[in-house]
Amino acid sequence: MSSIKGAAVRFEKVQKSYDGENLVVKDLNLDIAPGEFLTMLGPSGSGKTTCLMMLAGFEPATHGEIFLNDKPINNVPPYKRGIGMVFQNYALFPHMSVAENLAFPLQIRKMNKADQEAKVKRALEMVELGAFGNRRPAQLSGGQQQRVAVARALVFDPELVLMDEPLGALDKQLREQMQYEIKHIHENLGVSVVYVTHDQTEALTMSDRVAVFEDGRIQQLSPPNVLYESPKNSFVAQFIGENNKLSGTVTAINGDVCEVKLDDGTMLKAEVVNVSKVGERTLISLRPERVEFDDPSKQENVVEGKILEILYLGDHLRVVMSVCGNPEFIVKVRNRGQTRPMKAGETHKIGWAAHDCKALDSVQ
């Protein structure tokens, strides 16, 4: 990973093992810039939460060093790191009012009463809960409790805030609303945020950069648009958004475009990502929305497929097809309001540009 001068957080060759044999985190090198919103994204067991716990000080690193503002913190206890934390279960004190919950981190720091009250008032207004200071957590909705948890993490003006699956307990609509609210708070304050989630939509919506974890390693570290448009391997392509997969063998390479003979004999052109020689096996990745359904004739790749199912999803139709040996090939067709003369069982030509499909990992 590239080095950032004056990084807010730096992981240098960090490893973590719980049993002394198996590494949960493997040689992590990662710099997080001041004011950056970085999301650690990945499936359960990929190492993302362990990285957050090591940064917070709740887990020791087995090897390597973690720096906060260029100072090593491996031996600094959690309460002296000055880091704000937001958890999925809110972790609010039920016997305290909202204002008392927010004042607690300030009392620990021995702040005087007048400054405590001013900071609590400002933090509550920041999350639009100015009138709720006297309520107990049990008197608030889930979304309101999560706002209080965010406010408490920010009330003492930390330079870094860690968020561990903070929206996981909320329903879909509230979760989406909180995504935007947290993003706007971050933009207004300029605080550094490290956010852990397994939800790719959260990662794409909120982040400056996303680190995709799998098997204890970062598979790709990129801004959301680069992650989606230019995945570096098939794991990232599959984990971020929907993705059609086609297997084949490279027959020619011409600059950044290669020709691939699929296993069913179809010849395609694809963008070179992780292939290097003729005869190499490869997995092609293609996003469903990049497939042209209405007028495919002008595309570089034109194939015929059988329609298996048509699902109406409001803004688009989800067409499941059997294409080039893939019986679960997905095409997203934009809904423009007109009736489409198509039905399951029919064959239909589709097409796509060479640069919209990526020749990724070599496969055996």
**Where along the chain do its domains lie?**
9-235, 242-359
**Residue 139 clears pLDDT 90, i.e. is over it:** yes
Show Cβ contacts of residue 353 under 8 Å, excluding neighbours closer than 6 positions.
Answer: 290, 299, 300, 301
Check: CB of residue 283 under 8 Å from CB of residue 364: no
Give the dihedral sign, CA 270/276/277/283.
Answer: negative
Report pLDDT for 363. 60
pLDDT score at 204: 93
Q: What is the pLDDT of residues 68-123, one digit of tens each?
A: 999 999 999 998 898 998 887 778 889 999 999 999 989 888 889 999 989 999 99
Question: What is the average pLDDT value for the chain, to the nearest integer?
Answer: 91
Instruction: Report residue 8 as tokens.
Output: 């807010």
Note whether 9-235 and 242-359 share their fold: no
Contact 192, 9 (CB under 8 A): yes
59 burial via Cβ count (<10 Å: 0-12, 13-18, 19+): middle
Per the CATH hierarchy, to which homologous superfamily does domain 9-235 belong?
Answer: P-loop containing nucleotide triphosphate hydrolases (3.40.50.300)
3-state helix, strand, coil in the chain (%, to 5): 25, 35, 40
Q: What angle do CA 92, 176, 146 make, to 5 degrees?
A: 5
Which residues 6+ apart lie within 8 Å of 190 measured at CB?
Answer: 35
Q: Which residue has the higher pLDDT, 30 or 173?
A: 30
362 pLDDT more than 80: no
Question: Residue 339 pLDDT > 80, yes or no?
Answer: no
Q: 211-265: per-residue pLDDT in tens?
A: 999 999 999 999 999 999 999 998 999 899 889 999 999 999 999 999 999 999 9
- 271 by DSSP, 3-state: which? strand
How far is Cα 255 from Cα 52, in angstroms, rounded to an integer? 41
- 4-61 pLDDT tens trace: 767 899 999 999 999 988 999 999 999 999 999 999 999 999 999 999 999 999 999 9
- Say which CATH topology domain 242-359 has: OB fold (Dihydrolipoamide Acetyltransferase, E2P) (2.40.50)
Taking each helix axis from N to C terminus, what angle separates 142-154 and 98-108, rounded to the nearest 10 degrees?
20
User: Which pLDDT score, from 0 to 100, does residue 181 have?
Assistant: 85
